[in-house]
Structures are given as C-alpha cells and as structure tokens.
Amino acid sequence: MFSGLLIILVPLIIGYLIPLKQTSLLKLINRLLSWIVYVILFFMGISLAFLDNLASNLLAIFHYAAVTVVVLLLCNAAALLWLERSMPWRHNHEQEKLPSRIAMALESLKLCGVVVAGFLLGLAGWPILQHATDASEYTLIFLLLLVGIQLRNSGMTLKQIVLNRRGMIVAVVVALSSLAGGVINAFILDLPIKTGLAMASGFGWYSLSGILMTESYGPVIGSASFFNDLARELVAIMLIPGLVRRSRSTALGLSGATSMDFTLPVLQRSGGLEIVPAAIVHGFILSLLTPLLMAFFAS
C-alpha cells in the first residue's frame, strides 16, 4: 500500500516544491500536460489489444463503465441537489451565450479516438508493444511531476482554499457521495468494495484514473474507469448550462476535478465570474484527492 502511495506522492511533492515565475515555462508545462494525456491513452489502447479473450473483455469494459457512470452521477446529483436546497447559492448572474456544446463534446471524444488508435496498433502484435504498460507507468510519473508544478504555480494559496467555503463544501459532498456510490457500484457489479471505491475516486480525471487502475487491476477495470470518467466530463458539458439556473452546486459538482480546467470556461459562461473561484477550489481539492484515494484503495 505504501509503495503505491509513494509512487503517486513523491513526484507530486517534488513538482510542488519547484517554484516557477517564467510565464513561458508554465505555458510549456500546460501544453506538455495536454500531450502527455494523449500519450498515456495511446499506451492504454495498446495494452487493451493484448488482453486474453478480447471480445468478452470489451463487453465487460463497457458494462462496468455504463453501470459505474450511472450510479456515481445519480449519487452525486442527489447529494448536490440536497445541498442546494439546504444551502442555496445566491447569485445575480445572467447566463451568457455558450459555444456549441456538440463541438465541446467532440473535443472530448477525440480522447476515445486516441485509445482506439492505440488498440488498433496493438492488434499488430509486435513484441516491442508489450512494453506499453511499463512506458505508461513512467509517463504517469512524469505527468504527476508536472501536475505538482502546475498546482504550486496555479496561484491558489492555502488561505484562498480555506476562505472559499462553497467550493470546499461542494468538493466534500462530491467526494463523499462518490464513495457511497462506489460501495453501491461494487455490490451491483459484484466487485470487491475497495475496487468500487477506487473506481469512484477518479472524479472525472480520466487519464490518471485509467492508468492507475490499469496498473492495479488490469486493462479491463482500468479502461472502464477511463470511460466512466470521460463520460462524466461529457455529461457535465451537456448539463451545466441548464443546471446552473436551477442548482449551481449541482452544475459545479458534476464537473468533478475538471472544474479547474476543461469545464471551467463552460461554468464561467453559464454561471458568471463569481463561480470561478469556487470552481477552481473545487477542482483543486478533487485533483489532490484523486491520486491519494485511488492509490490507497487500489493498493
């Protein structure tokens, strides 16, 4: 268990200890993080091609992913709607015109295309491709190092996190309701409780959850975790503009860890600038919890 946590924590901590003031370097790190996501997903696709009983395993992947995303989103939505009723989020923002949600969804679906491309290459069966799993592990360590640097230089201080009460509360509600959903999911899919909890701890961070779960439980569970978290992002993109008028907490919470990056522009246009600090804090907290919880439960 501790070795798994160290693999996650050490590069994160080292990265967090590196201060950067050069804007050009920070922009380069942001670009590298985008590229590395595609590299990791490509390696994941290659690993899928080397599965035994490939056809039956692919059916299992989509079965696990479909059940997981439905259970987790229902648990999150129920908890967040209760939060909105108990603690209404007051605001004075009129919604702006949004870009095409279909276009934004297609941007996310490109990630699936990368996995498919890796899978098709893996079907060639070349011996060198069998090292894809090891390559993805080293790539993940590099990604976590860059994530640590990004978090350190994101401008978020401990004081800002503590002071943004709404962002913290929504993050806690999302985390707890996701873990409750993970237990329910484990019973439905007849999985060990720790596996269900690990699958529920991705909070939408598909690249990290996919590779961590692949290393711990194999390509079937790893790929199911990836598709579950990717589907969460797609659902959030489609629902945020409508939800933000009725329940801002639900609109923010369903975004998961992506509220700090990919879904942030959608949240800002739908909910105004006043939602941005809460979105950043919410995404920041869940981004920190994801590797820790997944490593703990998957160990």
Interacting residues of 221 by C-beta distance below 8 A, sequence separation 6+ = 64, 195, 199, 213, 214
Structural domain boundaries enclosing 17? 2-298
Per-residue model confidence as pLDDT tens for the chain (299 residues): 445 556 666 887 788 788 887 888 888 887 887 788 788 778 878 877 776 666 778 888 889 999 999 999 999 999 999 999 998 887 554 544 555 656 656 665 676 788 889 889 988 888 888 888 778 778 878 877 887 787 777 665 656 655 678 899 999 999 999 999 999 999 999 999 999 999 999 998 877 888 788 888 888 898 899 889 888 877 887 788 778 878 899 999 999 988 876 777 778 777 776 787 888 889 888 988 988 898 888 77
pTM for the model stands at 0.73
In sign, the C-alpha dihedral spanning 181, 184, 190, 194 is positive
Q: Which residues contact 66 (CB under 8 A, 6 or more apart)?
A: none
Say what angle helices 276-298 and 132-152 make with each other, to 10 degrees: 140
User: In terms of Cα–Cα distance, which of 160, 176, 143, 198 is closest to 33?
Assistant: 143
Q: From CA 165, how far away is CA 116, in angstroms rounded?
A: 41
pLDDT reported for residue 1: 41
Q: How many domains does the chain have?
A: 1
Torsion 8-299-283-117 (CA) sign: positive
Q: Tokens for 158, please give them.
A: 């401990």
Residue of 199, 171, 210 lying closest to 288 (CA atoms):
171
Question: What residue type is assigned to position 200 of the chain?
Answer: A
